[in-house]
Amino acid sequence: QVQLQQSGAELAKPGSSVKISCKASGYTFTSYDISWIKQTTGQGLEYIGYINTGSGGTYYNEKFKGKATLTVDKSSSTAFMQLSSLTPEDTAVYYCARFLAYWGQGTLVTVSS
């Protein structure tokens, strides 16, 4: 069965970066894009962007350009999202998803000094 397993929670300091992973299993990894979504209590769900797992091509929501960087390692069927120059506003649960039906379990990123 299709599964997306995300890396664990992160506690990061303002100004630093974090890299979240999303390991896919149960299907041909390079046949589907992986999307990333941010969820906060205040802003709800926001679409960050997606990566074409075959070509490595990316799309970023304008709001997240310069904040998020999406990459992929085909050899391990894993997608990554790096968040840079972290601020407290980046504190959120981040999901990877193979739209529409398959979502990872979420990764909590907390930005605090």
Binding site for other proteins (CB under 8 A): 35, 44-47, 49, 59, 61-63, 95, 99-101, 103-106
Per-residue tokens: 112: 């605090």
Q: Considering the complex, state which of residue 29 and residue 38 has its C-beta at the smaller distance from other proteins.
A: 38
Q: Considering the complex, state which of residue 63 and residue 74 has its C-beta at the smaller distance from other proteins.
A: 63
Give the nearest distance from C-beta 75 to other proteins in angstroms.
Answer: 26
Residues with Cβ within 8 Å of residue 2, at least 6 apart in sequence? 24, 25, 26, 27, 98, 101, 102
Closest CA to 109 of 70, 83, 71: 83
Q: Considering the complex, state which of residue 76 and residue 105 has its C-beta at the smaller distance from other proteins.
A: 105
Give the nearest distance from C-beta 25 to other proteins in angstroms.
Answer: 16
